[in-house]
Amino acid sequence: MNADTLLWSLLLGVIVVAAAAAIIIPTVRNSSTAPPPGAVGTALGAALTAAALGIAGSGTAPASEVPAGSGQVRTVDVVLGDMTVSPSHVTVAPGDSLVLRVRNEDTQVHDLVVETGARTPRLAPGDSATLQVGTVTEPIDAWCTVLGHSAAGMRMRIDTTDTADSADSPDTPAGADSGPLAPLPLSAEMSDDWQPRDAVLPPAPDRTEHEVEIRVTETELEVAPGVRQSVWTFGGDVPGPVLRGKVGDVFTVTFVNDGTMGHGIDFHASSLAPDEPMRTINPGERLTYRFRAEKAGAWVYHCSTSPMLQHIGNGMYGAVIIDPPDLEPVDREYLLVQGELYLGEPGSADQVARMRAGEPDAWVFNGVAAGYAHAPLTAEVGERVRIWVVAAGPTSGTSFHIVGAQFDTVYKEGAYLVRRGDAGGAQALDLAVAQGGFVETVFPEAGSYPFVDHDMRHAENGARGFFTITE
């Protein structure tokens, strides 16, 4: 179809380079023989979870001066934390033998591997292991091999005293200088076996107790025309399953990890202490997450496991719709969850570098770039249509707009900004990351109405679709 051509003619815009988010990664350098306690490298993402706080390194090491080339054994305590290896930088005299006493003080599994091949086993929270690095004659890198952790900052640099001053930063992941990929072929056809995600939002079930099972799977999906991508999912799709109910309803979610790494879940629709229900569970484990929906709104849920930038950026998000008590009936309801697409191997340094820079390869509604340009949503002239929108990020919100339509009702983050009958109308629903709401409109005549995130960087790179309106 020629829908894209129409959109492009309607949307005059310039290609704008996405803004880069500055991330300051403190680098600890130490040329003495004893790294200081708590020499923490990066703690990216730690601020998002209370469970991640307070994990400072407690490493200690012999403080004796060791002459170069003495062949002495040097022992250093190393703490694995929330995307940190502490100390992140160790310096030894050339010819010394290094032993690392590694302890995992985080809430998820980690390990430490040295490029010479020596490695700890996978360490459960609280576990320790002794790593015999052997004689160090030249700089060596070490890192956690759990997917994505190295790129998120779990790296250590072992220098010798004669190289320490000229060594590169140990916290710069390989490939971090890679720029954005070429634009995706969004006007090409989706594969023959592609099925669009049904954007129709069914009404809340007529009950007050909801039992839901959500299983984590790591799978592969078509995320743009002819483009398949490995994704981490709630329930095998991006976004995850939609939950809908009314204020006061109780949701009992059985959360099962069928993946290959730790995952967790965080329902913004819940109001509770996160410690237990939002904890990371390992592959094969399950937990029960029970909450009462105290407030109406369009709520995000997402993976609660660090680094969340990667878990959300690789597809682990979804929506919970809790109807306002006075929600009026409409003819059709749709739900669009906006997210971002980062191509490449999940957790790779290249992919993570683009996540950190806020430079997605595309923006998506319900998991697919320009998906509803290939499978438009539908309504009839004169029908009242309600579109729920949730901005899942992980780095950008949305300015939801329908070309040719005006909103006579806007509900954002628990409050009506505009209601039908008002003299005023609205042109866009602006949502920051992790906000939600809905708009309502009555399409005035038959036609093809593009809907977009009116940030043209996002619209031109996938955050777009169509309403096909018929008599």
Query: Where does this chain bind Cu ion (CB under 5 A)?
Result: 263, 303, 305, 311, 316
Q: CB of residue 122 vs Cu ion: minimum separation in angstroms?
A: 17
Q: CB of residue 213 vs Cu ion: minimum separation in angstroms?
A: 17
Both tokens of residue 414?
């628990």
CB nearer to Cu ion: pick between 146 and 403 = 146
Both tokens of residue 144?
């956690």
- φ/ψ of residue 355, rounded to 5: -60, -45
The verdict on whether residue 149 carries a ligand-binding annotation is no
The verdict on whether residue 110 carries a ligand-binding annotation is no
CB nearer to Cu ion: pick between 42 and 305 = 305
The verdict on whether residue 144 carries a ligand-binding annotation is no
Contacting residues for 455 by C-beta, under 8 A, at least 6 apart: 396, 398, 399, 463
CB nearer to Cu ion: pick between 395 and 461 = 395
Both tokens of residue 240?
């995850």
Q: CB of residue 387 vs Cu ion: minimum separation in angstroms?
A: 28
CB nearer to Cu ion: pick between 66 and 303 = 303
What letter would DSSP give residue 77? E
Contacting residues for 120 by C-beta, under 8 A, at least 6 apart: 102, 111, 112, 113, 129, 131
Please report where in the chains the tokens 């390992």 appear, as a residue.
282
The verdict on whether residue 268 carries a ligand-binding annotation is yes
Could you list the beta-strand ranges (E) of 189-258. 209-224, 227-234, 243-246, 250-257
Q: CB of residue 314 vs Cu ion: minimum separation in angstroms?
A: 8
The verdict on whether residue 374 carries a ligand-binding annotation is no
Contacting residues for 118 by C-beta, under 8 A, at least 6 apart: 131, 132, 133, 134
Contacting residues for 159 by C-beta, under 8 A, at least 6 apart: 89, 90, 91, 92, 139, 167
Q: CB of residue 192 vs Cu ion: minimum separation in angstroms?
A: 31
Q: Which residue is nearest to Cu ion (CB)?
A: 303
Distance CA 216, CA 304 (A): 12
CB nearer to Cu ion: pick between 148 and 173 = 148
Which residue ranges are tagged as binding site for Cu cation?
263, 268, 302-303, 311, 316, 454
Annotated binding site: 263, 268, 302-303, 311, 316, 454
